[in-house]
Structure 1
Amino acid sequence: MTKRRRKLRRRRNLEISREFIELAETVVHHPEYEKMKYISHHSASVYAHSVNVAYYSYKIACKLGLDKTSIARGGLLHDFYLYKFDERRTSKHLLVDAFKHTLNHPREALRNAEKYYNLNQTERNIIVSHMFPVGLPKSPEAMIVSMVDKGLATYEYLLNFSQKREALYESRFVFAKI
């Protein structure tokens, strides 16, 4: 790759990042949304996880010419369930409670999102179907958020086994600090 091409790519990535930050700020600075900073998600917070899912989904949407606004907002709100998993456990069996969480948290996230934000149909579907195959994505945007969510959740889970997990996650995912 030529030096000129790298420079153009860097400039385009910077533009994408600025656009994303402008969109994200309309969601992430809400007091209810900021509560997600204190809810853990594997080796990160639900806040950091959601911002990263939204950012990478947004980058894909830019490349494919999809609805960037809906994918960013849906990605940011896909885990807007506002409770700590450990506090909701009702069974002695972790797998039973994890399964209940898998089934219920998308609906809880949608209820919360509708309470605080005006959503379009694509954003609703992204939120409620991100746990595919539990919910069926009805748009390419919903499928992308679902796949990016799974990839990042796997990465975050594997970081639990790394001694450098904080440094690794923080250095790679800059946008978690919006």
Structure 2
Amino acid sequence: MLHATGSKKELTRLAYYALVSDILEHADVQALKQFRHHRYTTRFQHSLNVSYYNYLLCRFFHWDAVSAARAGLLHDLYFYETNAYDRTESPGQKSHSAHHPEVAVQNAVDRFALNPLERDMIEKHMWPVTHRMPQYKESYAITFVDKYAAIVEFFGLGAQRMLSHIRRKQTV
């Protein structure tokens, strides 16, 4: 079963899946399941969330929803623990927030054929932290959707787990 957080739809049954299945089934994208992201989810699930909701938003506006879905899956394609990176930061070194889009786009280019829109979306998804402004409306969309997904993942799932933990403590 493949679901975006907050959605009850089985994604493998939707047209969306046919557009991204080659990326979703790639071993390196599957490997993102090993990495925690936004404390309560995995980098794979976060990327799936960004991909699906970015696809829906861009489709609604009649923008390039296919590129939006594909870039959403690849926007955080890096293979290290975020906390480990943050601990090794030194003066003059870019923050993880500013650095990881560069790593992600290079990893994506090494594994998949990207069009200029997809590349811009991956490179600029952390704008304004990355300082370079997006060139396309879809690139602005992914910056919004990425933040939205992070909030839902952190506060939604986090709040559910915290409440569940509190309830268990109260019944013991």
Normalising TM by the smaller chain, what interval? 0.7 to 0.9
Counterpart in 2 of 1:6?
A: none
Residue-by-residue CA offset, 1:91-129 (whole Å, 9 max, x unaligned): 49xxx99x6101100000001000000000000000000
TM-score, with length taken from structure 2? 0.78
Alignment correspondent of 2:33? 37
1:75 offset after TM fit, Å? 0.8
Which residue does the alignment assign to 1:27?
23
CA contact (8 A) 2:32 2:77 kept: yes
**3-state DSSP of counterpart to 2:135:** coil
> Which position in structure 2 is the counterpart of 1:7?
none
**In the aligned structure 2, how far is the partner of 1:34 from the partner of 1:87?**
21
TM-score, normalised via structure 1 length: 0.75
1:18 aligns with 2:9: no
* Equivalent residue number for residue 145 of structure 2: 148
The percentage of counterpart residues that share the same residue type is 32
Q: CA deviation at 1:14?
A: 8.7
Give the number of equivalent residue pairs. 150
- Per the alignment, residue 118 of structure 1 pairs with 113
Aligned CA distance change for structure 1 residues 31 and 60 (closer, same or farther; 3 Å): same
Note the C-alpha offset of 1:61: 1.2
Q: Classify 1:91/1:62 alpha carbon distance in 2 versus 1 (closer, same or farther; 3 Å).
A: closer
Q: In the alignment, what sits opposite 2:45?
A: 48
**Runs of 4+ that moved beyond 3 A:** none
How many Å separate the matches in 1 of 2:56 and 2:135?
20
1:147 to partner: Cα distance = 0.1
Match of 1:5 in 2: none
Q: Are 1:128 and 2:126 counterparts?
A: no
Instruction: Determine which structure has the larger helix proportion and give its number.
Output: 1
Higher relative contact order (CA 8 A, sep 6+): 1
**Aligned equivalents of 1:161, 1:18: Cα separation in 2:** 28
Unaligned runs of 5+ in 1: 1-12, 168-178
CA distance in 2 between partners of 1:160 and 1:20 (Å): 24
Q: Unpaired segments of 5 or more residues in structure 2?
A: 1-8, 165-172
CA RMSD in angstroms comes to 2.6
Given candidates 88, 91, 111, the residue that maps to 1:90 is 88
**Aligned amino acid, residue 108 of structure 2:** A
